[in-house]
Amino acid sequence: MMPGKAAAFIISSSMIDPSPTLEDGPSKSQRKRESEALQVLGETLVGLGADQLARIELPDHLRAAIDEARRIRKFGALRRQFQYIGKLMRDVDPEPIRRQLDALEGQSRTHSAWLHRLEQWRSRLISDDHALDEFVRLHPGIDVQQLRTLIRNARHEAAQSRPPRAFREIFRLLKGVEPEPGQTHDEPLPEQPTEEDE
């Protein structure tokens, strides 16, 4: 190789910038979005009912911060606590928490659908004489006389604008006969009502 060409090669090589043109890792805006998402996840946990929150597996220090937020009533203090929870969430794997929340949401939808189905049955039983025969076919073990008495009493209550005692008792009976999906017949049936005077 001629000296001139070697010198040109050396000069051109020294002009190359060895540093990468792009930053390693997530960008600042991406880190901000992830931080905000974690804080929102923490706020979701704070908004759960006590029973639901107890079913979520959480580190003790995070659960303590969430419990504290649930006791705060002043907006400014609550906002600061949310920010603190979001900071704690950075050291926690959020995916298991999200999966547990998704499972709770699915259970909530199932529970609502079950209650709605029972309410529909109650309305039909009270308003339609033929509904009783249909319900008995689906649930042959039910105490037909008890249900018939409750239906008659509920109609009397509605006609006379009286407190809906039998109306509520029908719902309790239906819950015992057709329990919530995933649960068993652990709720006792209501006591046999006495027929009301016509």
Tell me what pLDDT residue 29 has: 81
Number of structural domains in the chain: 2
Q: Are 192 and 146 in contact (CB under 8 A)?
A: yes
Taking 70 as the threshold, does the pLDDT of residue 11 lie above it? no
Q: Are residues 115 and 85 in the same domain?
A: no
Question: Stretch 44-54: mean pLDDT, rounded?
Answer: 89
CA distance 164 to 76: 45
Same domain? For 163 and 116 the reply is yes
Task: Write down the pLDDT at residue 156.
Answer: 94
Domain range holding 61? Answer: 30-92
5, part of any domain: no
Residue positions counted in the chain: 198
Average pLDDT on 24-47 reads 83
CA gap 198, 194 in Å, rounded: 12
The phi-psi region of residue 2 (left if phi > 0; otherwise alpha if psi is between -120 and 50; otherwise beta) is: beta
Q: Which of 63, 92, 121 is the last residue of a domain?
A: 92
Residue 189: its pLDDT value, please?
35
Is 12 a domain residue?
A: no
Domain of residue 143, CATH code: 1.10.60.30
- Residue 197 pLDDT: 40
Tell me whether residue 68 is in a domain. Answer: yes
User: Is the entire prediction scored with pTM above 0.85?
Assistant: no
- 159 and 117 in a common domain: yes
Per-residue pLDDT tens digits for 146-161: 999 999 999 999 999 9
Q: Are residues 128 and 160 in the same domain?
A: yes
Regarding whether 168 and 118 lie in a shared domain, the answer is: yes
Comparing C-alpha atoms, which of 159, 157, 181, 184 is closest to residue 169?
157
Is the torsion defined by CA of 44, 48, 52, 56 positive or negative? positive
Q: How many Cβ atoms sit within 10 Å of the Cβ of residue 48?
A: 16
Phi-psi region at 170: left, alpha or beta (left = phi > 0; alpha = psi -120 to 50)? alpha
Number of C-beta neighbours around residue 58 at 10 A: 18
* CA–CA gap between residue 191 and residue 143 (Å, rounded): 11
71, 117: one domain: no
Verify that 41 and 86 share a domain, yes or no.
yes
- 184: enclosing H helix or E strand: none
Name the burial class of residue 195, with classes exposed (0-12), middle (13-18) and buried (19+) by CB atoms within 10 angstroms of its CB.
exposed
